[in-house]
């Protein structure tokens, strides 16, 4: 079969909503796009453990401590599925992690913002997991089979996290004035970074069009961002919190909320490594890998010894 025929066949599958599986032929650019996107997603799960993990030792009561431990564990589990999905594409897990550490691979910029108060843990669940779900629900139908199937499981857990985050903010909003102020402050700091999670405007998004044709992406960045704003306004009202945007209002004609322009300078600065916590996040991951080197070497050496004993 010629390359042109293979490409035609591949696109036909995509157009007919037939999933692409690991052993199927696929264009190299499709493979590379998936490796880039899935590894970015895996790194986001793992780096995302850090801001929340910071609060495990300071959680305000035992039940919240247990819930937060379970949540961060889920995220580590998501990281594991996604690294496995990358391996089905022939990529090496450790190599993609080294790319993260060298700054070559990206992760969700939201995790470069600090978690300063307990309310931030609620806000991360509500807004950050909420925004992630908007992206990820669409990815449950993505064209690459292993990624789509991983997403189904991940989405179930993420929507649980989102409800937990919202519920914990509800407790603060019904609590003392100090607690409510803590919740409002968290919303003020996380609202714009959450909107930035959907990426650049469609006109600026370099990878969007091809990814839409390949059905890796099913909605554009701006469409997803709009859905998120539309869904979140009423949730903020129910909490009695104010979204920090003077221009936020319902547009009858569009059937959507209008909102202010994102500060794109800040967006690009954080993407390029200049956010409040970029350095700390990467340093923590590099340190974990370096400190773990002797542990991994020990496990490998022991496994080899065992294998030799067995074959002897």
Partner 1 sequence: MEQKALFEYVLRMADDSLILGQRLGEWCGHGPILEEDIALTNISLDLIGQSISLFDLAAALQGEGKTHDDLAFLRFENQYKNVLLVEQPNGDFAMTILRQFFFDAFRKPFYEALCKSPITQLAAIAEKSLKETRYHLKHTSEWVIRMGDGTEESHARAQAAIDHLWRYTHELFYEDAIDAELQASAQVPSLKAIETSWLETVKAVFAEATLEIPANNWKFDGGRQGRHSEHMGYLLAELQYMQRAYPNMQW
Binding site for partner 1 (CB under 8 A): 46, 49-50, 53, 56-66, 69-70, 72-73, 76-77, 79-80, 83, 118, 168, 171-172, 175-176, 178-179, 284, 287-288, 291-299, 301-302, 305
**Minimum distance of partner 1 from residue 223's CB (angstroms):** 33
**Minimum distance of partner 1 from residue 305's CB (angstroms):** 7
Q: Which is nearer to partner 1, 65 or 218 (CB)?
A: 65
Q: Which is nearer to partner 1, 27 or 53 (CB)?
A: 53
Q: Which is nearer to partner 1, 34 or 172 (CB)?
A: 172
**Minimum distance of partner 1 from residue 46's CB (angstroms):** 7
**Minimum distance of partner 1 from residue 112's CB (angstroms):** 15
Q: How many CB atoms lie within 10 A of CB 23?
A: 7
Q: Which is nearer to partner 1, 237 or 297 (CB)?
A: 297
* Residue that the structure tokens 């199937």 belong to: 149
**Minimum distance of partner 1 from residue 63's CB (angstroms):** 7
Report the C-alpha gap between 248 and 15 in whole angstroms.
38
Q: Which is nearer to partner 1, 18 or 298 (CB)?
A: 298
Q: Which is nearer to partner 1, 94 or 204 (CB)?
A: 94
**Minimum distance of partner 1 from residue 310's CB (angstroms):** 14
Q: Which is nearer to partner 1, 234 or 294 (CB)?
A: 294
Report the C-alpha gap between 82 and 311 in whole angstroms.
34
**Minimum distance of partner 1 from residue 176's CB (angstroms):** 6
**Minimum distance of partner 1 from residue 251's CB (angstroms):** 38
Taking CA atoms, 219 is separated from 24, 172, 207, 264, in Å, by 25, 34, 13, 21
Q: Which is nearer to partner 1, 207 or 289 (CB)?
A: 289
Q: Can you spell out the DSSP letters for the chain? A: --HHHHHHHHHHHHHTTPPB-TTS---HHHHHHHHHHHHHHHHHHHHTHHHHHTTTTT-SSHHHHHHHHHHHHHHHHHHHHHHHHHHTTT--HHHHHHHHHHTSS---GGGGS---SHHHHHHIIIIIHHHHHHHHHHHTT-SBHHHHHHHHHHHHHHHHHHHHHHHHHHHHHTS-HHHHHHHHHHHHHHHHHHHHTT-S-GGG-SSHHHHHHTTS--S-HHHHHHHHHHHHHHHHHHHT---S-TT-EEETTTTEEE-PPP-HHHHHHIIIIISSSHHHHHHHHHHHHHHHHHHHHHHHHHHHHHHHHHH-
């Amino acid at each position: 079969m010629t390359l042109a025929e293979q490409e035609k066949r591949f696109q036909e599958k995509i157009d007919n909503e037939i999933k692409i599986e690991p052993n199927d032929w696929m264009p190299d650019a499709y493979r590379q796009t998936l490796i880039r996107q899935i590894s970015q997603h895996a790194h986001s799960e793992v780096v995302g453990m850090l801001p929340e993990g910071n609060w495990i030792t300071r959680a305000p009561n035992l039940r919240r401590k247990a819930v937060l431990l379970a949540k961060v564990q889920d995220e580590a589990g998501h990281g594991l599925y996604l690294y496995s999905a990358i391996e089905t594409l022939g990529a090496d897990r450790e190599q993609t992690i080294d790319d993260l550490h060298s700054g070559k691979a990206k992760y969700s910029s939201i995790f470069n913002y600090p978690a300063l108060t307990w309310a931030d843990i609620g806000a991360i669940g509500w807004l950050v997991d909420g925004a992630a779900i908007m992206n990820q629900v669409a990815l449950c139908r993505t064209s690459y089979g292993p990624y789509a199937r991983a997403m189904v499981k991940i989405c179930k857990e993420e929507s649980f996290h989102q409800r937990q985050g919202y519920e914990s903010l509800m407790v603060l909003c019904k609590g003392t004035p100090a607690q409510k102020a803590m919740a409002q402050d968290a919303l003020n700091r996380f609202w714009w970074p959450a909107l930035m999670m959907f990426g650049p405007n469609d006109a600026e998004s370099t990878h969007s069009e091809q990814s839409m044709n390949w059905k890796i992406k099913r909605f554009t960045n701006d469409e997803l961002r709009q859905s998120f704003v539309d869904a979140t306004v009423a949730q903020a009202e129910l909490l009695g919190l104010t979204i920090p945007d003077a221009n936020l209002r319902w547009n009858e004609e569009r059937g959507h909320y209008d909102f202010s322009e994102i500060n794109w300078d800040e967006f690009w600065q954080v993407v390029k490594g200049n956010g409040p916590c970029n350095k700390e996040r990467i340093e923590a991951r590099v340190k974990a890998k370096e400190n773990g080197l002797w542990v991994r070497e020990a496990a490998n050496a022991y496994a080899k010894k065992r294998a030799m004993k067995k074959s002897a």
